[in-house]
Each structure stands twice: as C-alpha cells, then as structure tokens.
Amino acid sequence: MEPILVVFSGGQDSTTCLMLAIAERGAANVHTVTFDYGQRHRLEVELAASIAREQGVASHKVIRVDWYRDITHNALMDATTPIGRDPGAATPNTFVDGRNALFLLTAAIYAKGKGIHDLMIGVSEADYSGYPDCREAFVRSMNQTLNLAMGWDFAIHAPLQHLTKAQEWALADRLGKLDYIRARTLTCYEGIPGDGCGKCPACVLRARGLADYLAEKAGGRP
C-alpha cells in the first residue's frame, strides 16, 4: 500500500480525512503533518499530536511557520479580533491568506523527502464557499504546480471536496468514528473541543450538519 501524508489540524475535517486514510491504507502507511502557524488556540497543535498518537500513525510531524503571523492579519491568528465578516469583504475575517497553498507546498516538500507521492487535505467547497483556497480549481492547480515545481508526481486527495457537513458526518459514521470525531476534535473558533461554544460560525456549521445527519439517520430520507 502506498504511503500518504495527511495535512492534519486536529479539526473535524482533517480528522475525518485521517480516519479515511487509515481505513483505506492502514495506520502504518499514514503520516501526518501539523502546522504551527500561531493559530489562536495552541490546544489545536497539541490535540492533533494526541489524536495522531492514539491512531498509531507511522509518523507525526509538526512544522513551525511562526513567521506567518508577522506578514498577514486575520481573526484566526489574532485573539483580539472578533470573528466576523465585514459586509463589503470578499472573505470572512477568519480566512488566512495563502494558507492551503503554503501548507500544501510545505507538506509536498516534506513528503518528497520521505518518498511519498500522495497528499490528503480536508478542504470542502460545499459549505464554505467564502474561502477561495477550498475550491477544487485551486486544489487541481496546486497539484499541477507542485508536480512542475519538484519534478515529482504528487496526487492531492481532497475526499471532502464536495461533501456537505452532514455528508461528512455520514462518512465518519460509516468509518465507525462519529463519536470519536465528535468528542475529540476541535473546530470551534473559541478553542473549545468537542461540541464547542455552540455559537461561533464553525460550531453552528458543525452542529447543523450533525443534526441534519442524525435526523436523516433516524428518519430516513424524506
């Protein structure tokens, strides 16, 4: 089985990706990389490490990109900025410029050094169209750029690309990991793991998806 490197933040999306990669390839073939970019919540980096350890992945690497916050500003890195969206702004203020490009480039450099071709990232354009680097066009273009940049055939896997949050919970359930992902992952902008604060946009999206999936599971499709 070919090894794969999962870009892993310890959130719902990337943990679902991790579980899928493990189910498909076995933990011994799954590597994880977490970026420490000065995110608001340090707990994210620690949580990612403990999930990776619990799941018995082949390796877990933390890469520090702590200069990132010196050159860009957004609410995810600055705890004094309230989460929100200016009516006139193209993206929510939680959007981090260039994040997925930076993460994929860095992950690819690391992967090539380990002889790995396959990369996985938990981007989804179904629920969060405000983030340009979650779009399929970006992922495809980045894949091509990485291949050209390094003369190495990468394959970027984005299995959540077209899934809604409800479909993502369904996938977690099929993998037998719904309860684990619900309890252990951190998606909340306030830094509260599991079901989170229940109020921020990330919690609302996550809770709505879960409620939709659970209602569908209980009652069958209308």
Binding of residue 190 to Zn ion (CB under 5 A):
yes
- Please say which residue, 3 or 122, places its beta carbon nearer to Zn ion: 122
Sole binder of Zn ion in the list 52, 186, 188, 210 (CB under 5 A): 188
CB 123 within 8 A of CB 100: yes
CB 74 within 8 A of CB 93: yes
The CB-of-168 to Zn ion minimum distance in angstroms stands at: 17
Binding of residue 197 to Zn ion (CB under 5 A):
yes
The CB-of-201 to Zn ion minimum distance in angstroms stands at: 8
CA 161 to chain CA mean position, Å: 11
The CB-of-175 to Zn ion minimum distance in angstroms stands at: 24
Binding of residue 156 to Zn ion (CB under 5 A):
no
Distance, in Å, from the CA atom of 44 to the CA atom of 34, rounded to the nearest integer, reads 9
Order across the sheet with 4-7: list the strands: 59-64, 30-36, 4-7, 118-120, 155-157
The CB-of-196 to Zn ion minimum distance in angstroms stands at: 4
CB 134 within 8 A of CB 125: yes
Binding of residue 155 to Zn ion (CB under 5 A):
no
Binding of residue 75 to Zn ion (CB under 5 A):
no
Element (H, E) at 146: helix 136-150
Could you tell me how many residues of this chain bind Zn ion (CB under 5 A)? 6
- Please say which residue, 178 or 203, places its beta carbon nearer to Zn ion: 203
Binding of residue 203 to Zn ion (CB under 5 A):
yes
CB 111 within 8 A of CB 143: no
Amino acid identity of residue 88, one-letter, is G
Query: What residues make contact with Zn ion under the rule CB under 5 A?
Result: 188, 190, 196-197, 200, 203
